[in-house]
Chain A
Amino acid sequence: MVFAKELKQALMNSNNSSFNDETCMMMLNMFDKTKTGRVDVFGFSALWTFLQQWRAVFQQFDRDRSGSINSNEMHQALSQMGYNLSPQFIQELVNRYSARGVNRVLQLDRFIQVCTQLQSMTQAFREKDTAMTGNVRMSYEDFLSGAITRLM
């Protein structure tokens, strides 16, 4: 059984910082099938595969081999994944999620966090935008329930 604390200790970024709390919690939630706050051996196997896949993507787009992804590299990564987002938005996203006190770049943990949340938020948006217009009308409750999904 792997606990949140152990997970955090086991996972590190290329700059030797440990994975941030949000990413650890997010992955635990995703792979904790027993709903007990820990991951069993099957869940861990799936989590590990998940990590390796994202690490491969990360390395593919870390063109300058800096060990981190900047706004340009993020734009290319997201385009490749099929997202159509403005450079300004991506810049703001990278700024917002980069670790405090460092350059505006994403380490692996935050890269995984942003990409995974982008996926679920896009899914939430698509469910409302049935006509595929790129615009939705939503109520306050719609908005809040979409945001909860992001946390869980």
Chain B
Amino acid sequence: MAYHNQYRPPHYNSAPPDQGFLWNIFQRVDKDRSGAISDTELQQALSNGTWTPFNPVTVRSIISMFDRENKGGVNFNEFAGVWKYISDWQNIFRTYDKDNSGFIDKNELKQALTGFGEFVIIVIFYDSQNHRQCCLFLFFNPLLTDVFRRYDTDQDGWIQVSYEQYLSMVFNVV
């Protein structure tokens, strides 16, 4: 099998956070008090020092993973999933950031890739000082894997596609 279930970070399972603590955070992030956290609100929250800033594509991927009603945001219950997901991946990131620099360099990345045994993507993003940084772009996999699976009917990790089908897959049009 060429790919694994990537909705759960591998080898890591953190304890669920206190509900009161989580509700506190949710309210602070849900700035317009709509009862759901939008892409913009999540991205602002992720940029405010708690975690390093996330690029909009990443934010969209995360929200769409947990937004069960396709409403373009996550409610409190769904947000608990988002929080856990990000925390789990962040902890894994820290495991591989051996020199505690806040970034994973080429050597650390090599170890991380071997450790996971699955495809990990690097994305470039900009931090608050507009310095270009690299980050394990771990969140994008589930959507692409999903799209790939739809075409891989015999589940052997290979597909046969036409030009337009390929474009549709990558543009997530389908």
B131 close to A (CB within 8 Å): yes
Chain B residues within 8 Å of A139, by CB:
2, 157-158
The answer to whether B163 and A96 touch across the interface, beta carbons within 8 angstroms, is no
Write the chain B residue with the least CB distance to A137.
B160
Contact of A117 among B2, B130, B131, B171 (CB under 8 A): B171
| Contact digits for B116-156, partner A, Cβ 8 Å, 1 yes 0 no | 00010111101100111000010011001100100010000
Contact B173 A21 (CB under 8 A): no
Residues of B contacting A152 in the complex (Cβ-Cβ under 8 angstroms): 123-124
Any B CB within 8 A of the CB of A77: no
8 Å CB contacts to B: which residues of A93-152? 93, 96, 100, 117-118, 121-122, 125, 129, 134-141, 143-144, 146-148, 150-152
Minimal beta-carbon separation of A146 from chain B (angstroms): 7
Known: A93-B173, A136-B160. A143 touches B148 (CB 8 A): yes
Segment with Cβ contacts to B, from A10-18, A29-37, A56-64, A67-75:
A29-37
Question: By the criterion CB–CB under 8 Å, are A143 and B171 in contact?
Answer: no
Residues of B with C-beta under 8 A to A5? 130
- The answer to whether A134 and B163 touch (CB under 8 A), given A89-B173, A140-B2, A143-B148, is yes
A4 at interface by CB-CB < 8 Å: yes
The main secondary structure of chain B at its interface with chain A is: mixed
Contacts of B83 in A (CB 8 A): none
Instruction: Return chain A residues, CB-CB under 8 Å to B169.
Output: 143
B171-A96 in contact (CB<8A): yes
Among B137, B148, B170, the residue within 8 A (CB) of A121 is B170
Say yes or no for B159: interface residue by CB 8 A criterion: yes
Complex contact B166–A125 (CB within 8 A): yes
State how many angstroms separate the Cβ of A77 from the closest Cβ of chain B: 16
Do A89 and B132 touch across chains, with their CB atoms under 8 A apart? Answer: no
Task: Contacts A121-B167, A140-B119, A147-B170 given; indicate if A21 touches B159 (C-beta within 8 A).
Answer: no
Residues of B close to A151: CB separation below 8 A = 57, 123, 137, 140
**Given contacts A89-B168, A136-B166, could you give 6 more A-B pairs where the C-beta distance is less than 8 Å?**
A25-B55, A121-B171, A140-B3, A140-B119, A141-B119, A148-B123
B interface with A by C-beta (< 8 Å): 2-3, 55-57, 72, 119, 121-124, 126-127, 130-132, 137, 140-141, 144-145, 148, 152, 157-164, 166-173
